[in-house]
Structure 1
Amino acid sequence: MRLFRLHTLAALAFAFVLAAPQHEIAAQAISGTSPQNAPQNAQIRSYIANGWETLSRSMSDCSSVVDAKVKTVPVMYLPADMPIPAAVAAMQQKCHVEVHHLPRAIHHIGEVRPAELPVEGLLYLPNRYVVPGGRFNEMYGWDSYFILLGLLHDGHNDLARGMVENFFFEIENYGAILNANRTYFFTRSQPPFLSSMIREVYEHPASGTAPDLKWLARAYSFAQRDYALWTSPQHQAGTTGLARYHDLGEGPVPEMSDDSSYYPDVIRWLLAHPKDHPEYLVDGAENPTPAQAATLARISCDVHISHVCAQAVVAGHRLSADFYRGDRAMRESGFDSSFRFGPFSGSAAHIAPVCLNSLLFRYEQDMAHFATLLGRSREAAEWTRRANARHHAIDRYLWDANAGLYFDYDYTTRQRSSYHYISTFYPLWAGAASPTQATAVHLHLGLFEHPGGLAMSDSASGVQWDLPFGWAPTTWLAVSGLERNGFHEDARRIAQSFSTTVLDNFLHDGTIREKYNVVSGSANVKVAAGYKSNVIGFGWTNGVYLELQDLLAASNH
C-alpha cells in the first residue's frame, strides 16, 4: 500500500501546479538566480571541466571495472579472438582483475547471453570514455550523445571521437551498440543516437583540421549496421512501419540485484490497483516446488537462474513473463521507469513510441546527408524514401490532430495512448513536425512547464521519469525542437529555468545531478520505486548545461 499512498498524495500535491497559468510559471522561472551570473557560472563551468577528467574511464584504470550494481569480483571480458592488450595485462596485475575471453565471436546482438558467462563483467573498449557517474560506471548509449555535446563544447574532440569509435567497436565485436559495456546488457541496446553523434564529430573537427571524409565513410558503414538493428523483425511494431523497443532477454534484469525492493514494490502497487493491468500478475509461491518452478519459468521467470527473480514475490504473487518483457523494453528506451507504457511501463514491448520513431526519422535524414556527402546519390535517395515512409507512419499512428500532441501507439490493441509525455517534442527536434503540428504542440507547453523547467509528464506516478522530475536530455531535445521551429522566446525561457535549477542546486551542495524536481526547483527527490537515489556526476547534465548556456548567450547578441 505504500506506493498507492505515495501515488495518490503526489497527485493531489501537484494538482495546483498543473493549473498554474503559463505566464506565472515564466515569471517564476526568470526570477531565479541567473545562470549567466559570471562568478557563479565560472564555478559550475570549472566543476564541469574537471568532471570530464574525473568521469573518464579507460582499460588501464582500476576504477573502470567497479560495478555497484552487482556483487561479484571485478572481471573484464575481451572479444573471443582478441589478444590481451598490454594495458589490460598491466591492469590485471595492478587492479587484481580477472580477464576472460567471450566464448565465441558475436555478429548480432543476443548471440551470447549473460547466463552463459560464469560472472558478470566489464566489456573491453579500446578508447577512453566518459561515464554518467555514481553507480553508472560504464559507457552508455544515449547518455553519450549529450556527454559528447559537452566534450565538443569544451574542446575535447579526440575524446568525443574516441567514444564514437568505441561504439563502432561494440558493433563489430558485441553485435550492436549495447545499453552499456557490461555483459548483462548483451540483449539490448539504447535509443539510437549514433548518426547524431557521427554528425557532431564530423562537423566539429579538432581546431585547425578539416572534416574527415574518409572517417565519415567508415562511420557511415557502422551506422548502417546500427540502423539495421532497429528495422529488424524483433524491433518492428507489427505492420505499422514503425519501430518498438525490445530486449532479447527474459525475466527480471540482473542489474537490479542491488535493488531487491523494485519488483516487489511493483507487485504491491498492482495488488493495490487490482483493475489496472491485472495481466501483469500471476500466482506464484515464494518457495516453489520443482514442478511449480518449471511453470514459473514459463509464465513468469526462472527462480533457478535469477536470484532477482527468486526475490520478486509478494504474498503468493509474481510478475508475468510479458510484464518482464515490457520491463526490459522500457530499459532499452532509457526511461526506466515511468507510467507512460502502462504502470511501471509493463506494456512497453507492445508500443510504437514517439521518441524512438522520431530518432529513427532523424537517423534516416542523417544517413541521406552522409550518403550525399560521400557521393552516393542512389543510397541518399533510398534513405530519403525511408524517412518519408516513417514520416507518413508517424503522422498516421502517433499524431493526434484533435489533441494537438504526439502520442505512443499500442500496435497490439490498435489504440493510441492519451498519456501526456515530453516525447511529444521529439518530432520538433527531429524535423518531423509540420509548422501546424509544431504550433499545436507548442500550445501545450503548460502541460509540462514548471518553475524549474520541463517535467517529463503531467502524471505524478511516483517514479523518476514522470512528474515532478525533469531531466537534461529531454530538456535539450525539447528546447532544441522549440528553437528549430521558431519558438525562440519559449526555448530560451525554458533554457533559463532549467539552467537556474542546475546552478542553484550546484551552489547549494557543489554537485550536478542526474535529475531535478522541476516543480520545487530542487535536487532533493523522493522516488517511490525504481532508482531512488539522485546520482552525482552527471555526464549528460554537464553537457546539456553548456549547450543551454550557449543558447542563452546567443540570445543576448
Structure 2
Amino acid sequence: MVFSLNIEDTLNRLLQQEDTDGDKKITIEDNGPKAFEIESREGNKCIVKGTYHLSNLLQELVISKNEGNKFAEIPLKKIEEPPVIRISRMIRDYYWKGLTRSMDEVGVEKLIADTKNETLTASKLPVYVPFHDELAFNYYNTLELKLPIQVIKLPEHISPEFVKSINKKPGILSLKLQEAHGEIKGVPFVVPGGRFNEMYGWDSYFESVGLLLDGKTELAKAMADNFQYEIIHYGKILNANRSYYLTRTQPPFYSSLIREVFEITHDKEWLKSHLKTAIQEYETVWMVQGKRLTENGLNRYLAEGIGMPPETEEGHYDAILKPFAEEANLSIHDYIFKYQNNYIQNDFLDTYFLHDRTVRESGHDTSYRIEGMCADLNLVELNVLLYKYELDFAEIINNIFDNTFEANATIYTSKYWFEKASLRKSLINKFCWNSEKGLYLDYNQVTKKQSTFVAATTLTPLWCKMATQEQAKILVDNAIRLLKEKGGIAGSSEESRGNINEKRPHRQWDYPNGWAPHQMMIWKGLLNYGFDLEAQELVYRWLYMITKNAVDYNGTIPEKYDVVEGTHKVFAEYGNVGTDFEYMSQEGFGWMNASYQYGLSLLESKYVEKLNNLIEPELVF
C-alpha cells in the first residue's frame, strides 16, 4: 500500500505530536504517544506505531521534500522496512552522496562556509596550490573573480619553517582537477562527515571498502587518484588537505586501496601508474633513515612541524603552558605569542609538541598508549601496514607485471619485496611480539622496552597474515578476552586505560570507545586464520550496536561508540561527529557507513535475520 501525503501538513502534525523535546528527531527520549495516524489523499488510513516506524516516516517525508515535492508517495513497506535493510540502503543510496565532495567551484563554495574557517583573520579563504600544478593555479585564479578566496602558489620545496609561517593564514590545499569536454571538474572524494569537509588519509581507505561493496568503484578509484596527487605534489598522503597538515602524513593504506580497486577494474595501466607512486611514497616518506625509519629497522610516525598544532581549539594546551607562563610572569596568551615567534626557547615544549603532532599523524588522536612518546614508538599497526605494502608490491609485481617492474629508475622484482617483508616480519616478532603475554605490543626504540599498554591494534598482524597460525591462536585467546565488549572490540583494555579522574580525562581512542577501522581489520584478520565463529560474533556485536542506536535515535550513525555500554553517547574529547542533524542524517559517518556494509557482507544470513529482530548478542552467541 502507498500513502500519498501532504508533506508540510504531515510533518508539522507528526513533529508536534511526537517530537516532545523539540530536536526535530523522533527518538526513544521523546514522550509522545508513539502512535500517529496517516491518511492518504485516496482515503487510506494507517496507524504508524513505535519510535522506529515513526522516525522512518519522518525520514521518508523529508527525503521527498528534499526532492522538491509537495506530496510524498510513501509505500508502507518503507515505513516498516527491516532495520538492517534500511540502514544499508540509506548508506548506499543517500549517505555516500551526502559525503562526496570535490575541489572545483561547487566544492570550494561549500568549504567557504566550513566552521573551521571562522577563525580566519581575512575574509577570504586561502586556497594553496602546488608549485607545478598550472591547471589548478589558473583554474582557481578564475574562481577568485567569483568567490571570496585567495589563491596562493606554494614554493617548490615545502619546509616545516614555511608551514609554520602560513599557520597564521590557514587554508585548503588543492586536490586533483581534470579537464573533460572543455570543462574543469574536481576529482571527487568522500569526507568523514560533520565538521570534516576535507579528504582525510586513512579514513579514505576504509570509506573505499564500503564504496567498492556498494558498487561505487569510480569513486573509490578517484580517492586513489587524489592520494596519488598528494604524493606527487605534497610529498605524502596528508592527514587532510589543509595547509597546517603539510608536514603530516597518515597510516599507510595506499597499496591496499589500489589493489582492491584493481581487482574490480582490471585496469593494468592505472595500476602501473599507482604502483610507481606507492613505491615512491614508501621510499621517500617511510624509509628515510633518521626520519620515520629508526635504527632498529622498524618505523615510527614523525610529524615534522614546528610549534603548536594550529588546528586545536583555543585553550587546548593551557594546562601544559600555565606553569611556564607563570614562571615567566606572563599570561598564557603572551607566552604562546613569544614561544611561537621564537622569543622564548623551551626544549620541553618542543618535544611535547613533536609528540603531540605525531599522535595526530598516527590517526589515533588521542590515546594514553602513545601520548607524550609517540615519536619514540615503533607502533605495531604502522609496521604491519608497511609489511602489507611490501607484500602487496611483491605480489602485484609477480602476478600482474611478470616479475619485473621499473619505478624511479630502479628495476624491482618480487624477490626484492618478499625479502623486505620477511625482514620486517622478523623484526616485528623480535621487538613487538611478547611470547609471555601472547600479544603484539608497541616498542619504544629510545628506552629499548616494550609497552605494557594493550590496544585493539595488537590484533592487526592478523589482517595481513603476518602471524603464524600458532601465534594467531595465542593472540586471539589473549586479546579477545581483554578487549571484547558488548558492542565489539574496545580501543584498549580497561586496565591499560587506567583510572579516569579529573587529572586523567578520557581519551577517545581508549576504553570504553570502539572504532570502525579496528573492527574491520580485526574481522578480516580472524577470517584469515579460520576463526570464523569469533569473527561472526564480533561482526554481530558491532552491527547490533549500530542498528539498535539507529532504530532508537532516528537513524543516527556517528563517528564512534562506547562499546561497553553499546551507545553513541560518548563522553570524550571532541564529542561525537554525526549526531548533530535535524529530521534525518544526510551522511552517517564515513568509515562507520563502510563498517556496516562490510560487516553485512561477512555476516551469515542466519545472523542477519536475528539482527533485524534486534536479538541481543548474548542471546545469539
| Range into which the TM-score falls when normalised by the shorter chain | 0.7 to 0.9
**Deviations 1:392-424, CA, capped at 9 Å, x for gaps:** 000000000000000000011100011111101
**Whole-angstrom CA distance in 1 between matches of 2:139 and 2:90:** 29
Which residue of the other structure, out of 333, 356, 359, is the alignment partner of 1:327?
Answer: 356
Is the CA contact 2:114–2:195 (under 8 Å) kept in the aligned structure 1? yes
Residue 171 of structure 2 corresponds to residue 124 of structure 1: no
| Aligned twin of 2:32 | none
**Whole-angstrom CA distance in 2 between matches of 1:319 and 1:47:** 49
Residue 305 of structure 2 corresponds to residue 249 of structure 1: yes
Superposition deviation, residue 120 in structure 1: 1.1
Superposition deviation, residue 265 in structure 1: 4.9
Residue 112 of structure 2 corresponds to residue 75 of structure 1: no
Measured at CA, do residues 87 and 419 of structure 1 come closer, stay the same or move farther in structure 2, by a change above 3 Å? same
TM-score norm. by structure 1 comes to: 0.80
Measured at CA, do residues 52 and 88 of structure 1 come closer, stay the same or move farther in structure 2, by a change above 3 Å? farther
Where 1:363 maps in the other structure, the secondary structure is: helix
Which residue of the other structure, out of 84, 89, 93, is the alignment partner of 1:41?
Answer: 84
Residue 557 of structure 2 corresponds to residue 512 of structure 1: yes
Residue 336 of structure 2 corresponds to residue 302 of structure 1: no
Residue 317 of structure 2 corresponds to residue 260 of structure 1: no
Where 2:116 maps in the other structure, the secondary structure is: coil
| Aligned twin of 1:499 | 543
Is the CA contact 1:141–1:189 (under 8 Å) kept in the aligned structure 2? yes
Is the CA contact 1:114–1:120 (under 8 Å) kept in the aligned structure 2? no
The residue correspondences of 1:155-304 to structure 2 (distance < 5 A) are 155-205=215-265, 211-228=266-283, 229-236=285-292, 238-256=294-312, 259-265=313-319, 284-285=327-328, 287=330, 302-304=339-341
Measured at CA, do residues 139 and 149 of structure 1 come closer, stay the same or move farther in structure 2, by a change above 3 Å? same
**Whole-angstrom CA distance in 1 between matches of 2:598 and 2:332:** 57
**Whole-angstrom CA distance in 1 between matches of 2:282 and 2:466:** 18
| Aligned twin of 1:490 | 534
Residue 374 of structure 2 corresponds to residue 374 of structure 1: no
Identity of aligned residues (%): 34
Is the CA contact 1:57–1:64 (under 8 Å) kept in the aligned structure 2? no
Measured at CA, do residues 305 and 551 of structure 1 come closer, stay the same or move farther in structure 2, by a change above 3 Å? farther
Measured at CA, do residues 555 and 392 of structure 1 come closer, stay the same or move farther in structure 2, by a change above 3 Å? farther
Is the CA contact 2:491–2:515 (under 8 Å) kept in the aligned structure 1? yes
Superposition deviation, residue 41 in structure 1: 1.8
Which residue of the other structure, out of 522, 525, 529, is the alignment partner of 1:481?
Answer: 525
Measured at CA, do residues 87 and 505 of structure 1 come closer, stay the same or move farther in structure 2, by a change above 3 Å? farther
Give ranges in structure 1 of 5+ residues lacking alignment: 1-32, 206-210, 272-280, 311-316
Question: After the TM superposition, which parts of structure 1 deviate over 4 Å for at least 4 consecutive aligned residues?
Answer: 84-87, 108-112, 265-268, 281-284, 554-557
Counterpart amino acid of residue 360 in structure 1: L
Residue 467 of structure 2 corresponds to residue 433 of structure 1: yes
**Higher mean C-alpha deviation, range 213-222 or range 235-244:** 235-244
Give ranges in structure 2 of 5+ residues lacking alignment: 1-51, 53-79, 177-186, 405-411, 501-505, 580-587, 609-621
Superposition deviation, residue 237 in structure 1: 5.2
Which residue of the other structure, out of 466, 473, 481, is the alignment partner of 1:446?
Answer: 481
**Whole-angstrom CA distance in 1 between matches of 2:329 and 2:258:** 49
| Aligned twin of 1:525 | 570
| Aligned twin of 1:115 | 165
Say what the alpha-carbon RMSD is for the aligned residues.
Answer: 3.0
Superposition deviation, residue 531 in structure 1: 1.9
TM-score norm. by structure 2 comes to: 0.72
Superposition deviation, residue 266 in structure 1: 5.9
Is the CA contact 1:234–1:246 (under 8 Å) kept in the aligned structure 2? no
Q: Which has the higher contact order (CA 8 A, sep 6+)?
A: 1
Measured at CA, do residues 286 and 448 of structure 1 come closer, stay the same or move farther in structure 2, by a change above 3 Å? farther
Residue 390 of structure 2 corresponds to residue 364 of structure 1: yes
Measured at CA, do residues 532 and 289 of structure 1 come closer, stay the same or move farther in structure 2, by a change above 3 Å? closer
Q: Which has the larger radius of gyration?
A: 2
Is the CA contact 2:307–2:340 (under 8 Å) kept in the aligned structure 1? no
**Whole-angstrom CA distance in 2 between matches of 1:366 and 1:456:** 27
**Whole-angstrom CA distance in 1 between matches of 2:168 and 2:475:** 50
| Aligned twin of 1:30 | none
Counterpart amino acid of residue 214 in structure 1: E
Residue 180 of structure 2 corresponds to residue 151 of structure 1: no
| Aligned twin of 1:26 | none
Residue 110 of structure 2 corresponds to residue 63 of structure 1: yes
Superposition deviation, residue 262 in structure 1: 2.7
**Whole-angstrom CA distance in 2 between matches of 1:191 and 1:494:** 24
Measured at CA, do residues 289 and 87 of structure 1 come closer, stay the same or move farther in structure 2, by a change above 3 Å? closer
Is the CA contact 1:451–1:520 (under 8 Å) kept in the aligned structure 2? yes
How many residues matched? 483
**Deviations 1:456-499, CA, capped at 9 Å, x for gaps:** 00144511000000001111111111111111111110101111
Measured at CA, do residues 289 and 326 of structure 1 come closer, stay the same or move farther in structure 2, by a change above 3 Å? closer
